[in-house]
Amino acid sequence: MKESQRFLQLHHNRMMKTRSTFEGEHRMLPYTQEAEWVHVSELYHAQKHNLLEICLEKKFNSEEKIQQKWDALRPNIIAKRRFEKLVYSTMCTRSSRCAFMEDIPDSLSKTQLQKYMDLGYDWIQRIRFRHVGSHVFGVCDAVIRTSFLQTLLVPNTLPLTITGEYVLVVLQPSFQSFCANLQQQALLRYFAEGEPRIAQDGIVVVRKDLQPLVYPMDRDETIVEPIRRIRRLKRLSPLLDLDEELPIQLWPNMKQGSTAWSPERWDIAFRLGEITMLWGCDDRHRQKALEQGVSSWRDPRFTPELVGFTETKAEILLRIVEINRHPTEWLYVEKDNLEASFPELQDSTLRHLFVDFEYFIDDHFIYLIGVWDASKKEYRAFWAKERTAEAWENMWKSFCAYLESTPSHCWYWYAEKKMMEKTGAPLENLDETWTDLWGVCRAGVAVRGAFDFSLKSFVKAFHQHGKMPFSYADLEECQDGLASIGVAQKYFATREERLKHTLEKYNRYDCEAMAHIWEAVRTALS
């Protein structure tokens, strides 16, 4: 065993002696060391087998560069906050006794909660808490008065059997398994503890349709162990050498985690040959491979069948793995399959256009349509001047007139056709004149360095091989779709011309990138 590893093990054994109960005995921390606080949101990483996220946060949280990364990202993390405000405004229309505690300091939060409950408020949202005895803190999305909850449920719903004047609420805009969620168990144990008016046997979930769903839930004592594990990891994080192979608990789950740590996690995952970085593979597939003694996709024993893939999915995954194992080849194209399925790839009689939409995710409002003409090497941008139905209609008419001016075939990446269907955008002969380039690549293309079929992955891989003259890393303010939404919101609020140019440049990258990928595939087919 290396000296550094031996020291790490000794330090780990010493740090097992925490303020929490361990092996039935209470042990106190050394007086020289402050207690490690655990945020309830960190339990989500533990549940998803992504403890490396917590390790990176602790190891580098004092570095100025990392802080700058987080500061740049926070304004763009808008989906949950928008949903919070939507839920609160909806509840306010149904009851005059609602409170939003976002700006109340931690020290006053519990006192204010007691005050609102004494006054019989029906809905109390965003409550901060700190459980001093266990060093656990976090935010409870909301609590709802049980009698008020009954009025919100669909007609003919059975009367509630939950015991408590109030019930914990989880705001969740996307689907998740709540009853087994460690984060909710932590709220029951550390937030609701000592509050006799808050039910200990159930939780309410509010999703996108704003219909509350009641889940019975027993308080699970096993929540203590994951919290201990996170606390120990935080103490050990500064000592960990991330250049060495990481133990299984710390391997990155590349299907879940924050954007801020993507470069660091990606470097670690690539060195390890991390299975969750592969298309279609999450921690469940990785676990199947580990049970067979395989921990890396670089291992010759790794096959799609080993992790449960069959038929078409197995063929796609095998294609990705084989090109990334190859020492020299950078592009693989299944010629016979693509020529038969996509004859339009080699049609030279048409004008080939590459189309990309920019839109808001909350209402699917398309505000920008970008088009790259491959023959003229020309970019066109069509804007909705206002965020109104009339402005959208004018933009769409201009776009359609442009398409009709010359016989054209349009290429897009995955989402555009779905967006047209969602918004009811009128367009004739859509199936005959539009082709999904994502579908082409999924059917028979693999690139060394791309482990899925996102446009960003393909652009990064093409750029690494010198086949793409630009990279999204060249864009400072807007490098992905989430950031573009934040920039778009600022633009429509301020009309700052610089922000408009930023959005057009990002959109143009998407359009041109598709053209480069299309040309590479066409060349391989010829």
> pLDDT tens across 407-444, in order?
889 999 998 988 888 888 777 777 788 999 999 999 99
Q: What is the pLDDT of residue 255?
A: 84
Whole-number Cα distances in Å, 146 to 119, 123, 167, 200? 15, 10, 6, 13
Q: What is the pLDDT of residue 264?
A: 86
Whole-number Cα distances in Å, 211 to 147, 199, 437? 16, 20, 37
Q: What is the pLDDT of residue 247?
A: 78
The 10s digit of each residue's pLDDT in 173-191 is 665 544 447 788 888 888 8
Is there a contact between 462 and 520 (Cβ–Cβ < 8 Å)?
A: yes
Nearest Cα to Cα of residue 462 among 509, 525, 414: 509
Q: What is the pLDDT of residue 53?
A: 84
Q: What is the pLDDT of residue 289?
A: 95
What does the DSSP assignment read for 245-268? PPPGGGS--TTS--GGGHHHHHHH
Rounded CA-CA distance 113/124 in Å is: 8
Rounded CA-CA distance 525/514 in Å is: 17
Q: Across 331-440, where does the E strand assignment appear? A: 331-333, 351-359, 366-373, 378-383, 408-412, 434-436
42 alpha carbon, distance to own chain's centre? 15
Domain formed by 337-525, architecture: 2-Layer Sandwich (3.30)
Q: Is the dihedral of CA 323, 326, 332, 335 positive or negative?
A: negative
The 10s digit of each residue's pLDDT in 211-257 is 888 888 776 677 888 888 899 888 888 888 877 777 777 888 888 77
Q: What is the pLDDT of residue 162?
A: 81
Q: What is the pLDDT of residue 73?
A: 66
Q: Which residue ranges in the chain fall short of pLDDT 70?
A: 1-33, 72-79, 156-158, 173-180, 219-220
170 alpha carbon, distance to own chain's centre? 18
Is there a contact between 337 and 394 (Cβ–Cβ < 8 Å)?
A: no
Q: Across 302-392, where does the E strand assignment appear? A: 331-333, 351-359, 366-373, 378-383
Q: Could you give phi then psi for residue 12, rounded to 5 degrees?
A: -65, -45
* CA angle (180, 41, 204) in 5-degree steps: 50
Whole-number Cα distances in Å, 57 to 37, 233, 247, 271? 13, 11, 18, 20
Alpha helices for 445-496 (secondary structure H): 455-464, 481-494
Rounded CA-CA distance 98/113 in Å is: 12
Hey, where are the domains in the chain?
3-75+224-250, 79-222, 273-325, 337-525
Rounded CA-CA distance 268/243 in Å is: 8
Nearest Cα to Cα of residue 446 among 356, 340, 350, 315: 315
Nearest Cα to Cα of residue 333 among 449, 443, 455: 443
Q: Which long-range contacts (CB under 8 A, 24 or more apart) does 384-391 make?
A: 386/492, 387/360, 387/492
Percent of the chain with pLDDT over 90: 46
Is there a contact between 206 and 172 (Cβ–Cβ < 8 Å)?
A: yes
Q: What is the pLDDT of residue 20?
A: 41
Tokens of 354: 């590459």
What does the DSSP assignment read for 22-86? ETTEE-PPPTTSPPPPEETTHHHHHHTT-HHHHHHHHHSTT-HHHHHHHHHHGGG--HHHHHHHH
Global confidence as pTM: 0.78
Q: What is the pLDDT of residue 77?
A: 60
